[in-house]
Structure 1
Amino acid sequence: MTKIDLSNAYRDYIACLNARDWPGLGEFVDDDVHHNGHSIGLSGYREMLENDFLEIPDLCFSIRLLVSDHPYIASRLQFDCTPKGKFLGLDINGRKVSFAENVFYEFRENRIWQVWSVVDKAAIEAQL
């Protein structure tokens, strides 16, 4: 997979998330995916994402920065959304917030196998 192929696969993965195409998630995510050092598998990863969309009905992943160096992707995602209640332990309760997530992925056999994610919680706190 070339850098361009990897970048395109990642963009397709983000489109899958934004479309909430949960049956299609396995096309992009390995059955043995790890998130922040924990093996959660595809079903756990899907459950995590579904829960995010339940807690944040207007959630939309927007790529602001994308760097590809096979087998890795580094991305800065931007969010402008309205969590229903608590988010990251903060009482958001329906207020609109903007924040970024810096996330790194390792691909194995053309699917996401490792994910390391850091959300800019300080940016949210500054808005409250």
Structure 2
Amino acid sequence: MLESIYREYLAALNERRLDDLNRFVHDELTYNGEPMTRGQYRDLIAADIEAVPDLFYDARIIVTDDTRVACRLLFSCTPQRDFLGFTPDGRRLTFAEHVFYDFRDGRIAAVSSLIDRHAIQTQLNSP
């Protein structure tokens, strides 16, 4: 059941239906241990999409149990503005995110995200 909810959530992100986050995310949640509101979470995602218009959440591995989703997301995109603390140079970047979601009542209550920043840095530093 959580896998189908999560896939719908990813579809909403990829289709830029950020107003639909209320269906998938609690009013208050934690992101990497820090409390935030759904509005702040939406703003975080919107800022990423604004910096990287071709950002696509490509779920490669999804593992679920009764209350959690673990996912390996793969991104292949071309940032247009500063993104994740990096200044883009116009080339396409490929990197992964390992993200874990805790669900409560069928909606995301906590997000723990680990982005492969080393892969991004390596690509930006290569000739």
Say if 2:50 is the partner of 1:54: yes
Provide structure 1 residue ranges, at least 5 long, that are not aligned to the other structure: none
What is the distance in 2 between the residues matched to 1:93 and 1:54?
Answer: 16
> Which shifted more, 89-98 or 38-47?
89-98
Distance 2:52 2:2 in 1: 28
The structure 2 residue matched to 1:117, chosen from 96, 113, 116, is 113
Amino acid at match of 1:68: T
Moved >4 Å (runs of 4+)? none
Q: CA deviation at 1:88?
A: 2.5
- Secondary structure, counterpart of 2:98 in structure 1: strand
Which of residues 81, 84, 91 in structure 2 aligns to 1:88?
84
Contact 1:78 1:101 in 2 (8 A): yes
Letter in 1 for 2:58: S
CA distance in 1, matches of 2:50, 2:62: 26
Question: Which of 14, 18, 21 in structure 2 is aligned with 1:18?
Answer: 14
Give the number of equivalent residue pairs: 124
In 1, the alpha carbon distance for the partners of 2:2 and 2:81 equals: 35
Query: Displacement of 1:117 after TM fit?
Result: 0.2
RMSD over aligned Cα atoms: 0.9
Match of 1:30 among 26, 42, 61: 26
Q: Unmatched 5+ residue regions in structure 2?
A: none
Q: Secondary structure at the match of 1:91?
A: coil
Shift of 1:38: 1.0
Structure 1-normalised TM-score? 0.93
Q: Which moved more, 1:91-100 or 1:48-57?
A: 91-100
Is the 2:48–2:83 contact (alpha carbons within 8 Å) kept by the matching residues of 1?
Answer: no
TM score, norm. by length of structure 2: 0.94
Q: 1:85–1:94: 8 Å Cα contact kept in structure 2?
A: no
